Amino acid sequence: MNYQAVPGSYLDEIRRQRRIWEEKPILRYIYSEYFGRVETNLAPGSPTLELGGGSGRLKETFSRVVASDVFPTPWIDVQLDAHFFPFREGTVRNVVAIDVLHHLPDPLAFFRECVRTLSRGGRIVLIEPHISLWSYLVYTCMHHESCDWRDDAWGARHPASGHNFANEALPWLLLQRNRKKFLLEFPDLRILKSEFFDFIAYPASGGFNYRSVLPLSFIRIILRLEKLLPMLVTKYITGMRSLIVIERL
């Protein structure tokens, strides 16, 4: 099996993201909420492998994380492709991926590698775009990445040139709309938790590409209010992101 990661340097983009991170306390605050969700849902033990960790921010928060990315940066521990893990069977305790799954041309290969390398009781902790009425409007009209809910995640997929593939609907297609099919495909996995969150706060923050339209004090209030929304509302109407926790049986 070939474990060679996709070649190419993305350091300029990673450096840009790190600079914006330092300049935007709102962004750091929102991601501290994400990181807290991740930490709460990790299985005890180590190692915890982070995919797509090129900027090193999660590792700076949890030093025990093994950070990886498909391209080399100064802030990772290992370079790897998320479709092929260079680890032995049953040697990984947790796999964490924030905004990674919807960039994978072959997401089923990723889950097969998780099944192979996770120990029993180990977990996959994902934070990904979620499709609701609100998020579909935002992702299709106001975002640069594709959001195609007609995508057949089980069909043949061609790797994108330069590793630029993205479909923000992909996690929802795999783990929500086609959940039963996914679990039949992977009988060694079970979905422990699905949470849906983000509504106004993240778009108002501007993310990594735009200026914030609200001060941090307002963002904090909005986030507190968003946490009061019932799950049926966040799942079908307002939710822009999902936390999915999957356990290896």
Cα distance between residue 109 and residue 119, in whole Å:
18
In the predicted model, is pLDDT for residue 160 greater than 80? no
**Within a domain: 4:** no
Enclosing domain of residue 111: 11-248
Q: Minimal CA–CA distance to 118: which of 184, 179, 17, 42?
A: 42
Q: Which residue matches tokens 């797509």?
A: 52
Number of structural domains in the chain: 1
Instruction: Using pLDDT thresholds of 50, 70 and 90, give the confidence band for residue 2.
Output: very low
pTM, 2 dp: 0.94
Amino acid letter, residue 70: V
pLDDT tens track for 169-221: 999 999 999 999 999 999 999 999 999 999 999 999 999 988 998 999 999 99
Cβ atoms 105, 81 nearer than 8 A: no
**Within a domain: 5:** no
**Within a domain: 44:** yes
Q: Minimal CA–CA distance to 97: which of 63, 132, 43, 50?
A: 50
**What is the reported pLDDT for 138?**
93
**Within a domain: 3:** no
pLDDT tens track for 98-152: 999 999 989 999 999 999 999 999 999 999 999 999 999 999 988 888 999 888 8
**Within a domain: 93:** yes
User: Would you state the structure tokens that stand for residue 120, as one six-digit string?
Assistant: 């029993």
CATH at 173 = 3.40.50.150
**Within a domain: 6:** no
